[in-house]
Amino acid sequence: MNPWLLAAAVAVAFGIDLLWGEPPARCHPVVGMGRWLGAVMAPWSHTTPAQALLRGAAAWWLGALLCGGIAGAMALGLNALSRLGAVAQVLAVLLMGSLLKPLLAWRMLRDEVAAVETALGEGLPAGRAQIARLVSRDTQALGDIEVRESALESLAENLNDSLVAPLFWFAIAGLPGAAIYRFANTADAMWGYRGAWEWAGKWAARADDVLSWLPARLSALLISMAAGRWLHGLRGEAHKTPSPNSGWPMAALALALDVRLSKPSVYMLHPGGHESTSAHVHAGLRLCERAARFGVLLACASLAAAGWHQ
Q: pLDDT by residue (tens digit) across 248-261? A: 999 999 999 999 99
Q: Which stretches of the chain drop beneath a pLDDT of 70?
A: 42-47, 192-198, 309-310
Question: What region does 50 belong to: left with phi over 0, alpha with psi -120 to 50, or beta?
Answer: alpha
What pLDDT score does 299 carry?
97
Closest CA to 113 of 158, 143, 160, 151: 151
What pLDDT score does 306 carry?
82
Number of domains comprising the chain: 1
What pLDDT score does 248 carry?
98
What pLDDT score does 138 carry?
80
Closest CA to 248 of 221, 227, 275: 221
What pLDDT score does 156 carry?
98
What pLDDT score does 141 carry?
84
Range(s) of the domain holding residue 281: 3-308
At 188, which amino acid appears? D
For the segment 79-97, what is each residue's pLDDT rounded down to a tens digit?
999 999 999 999 999 999 9
What pLDDT score does 46 carry?
63
The model's pTM is 0.95
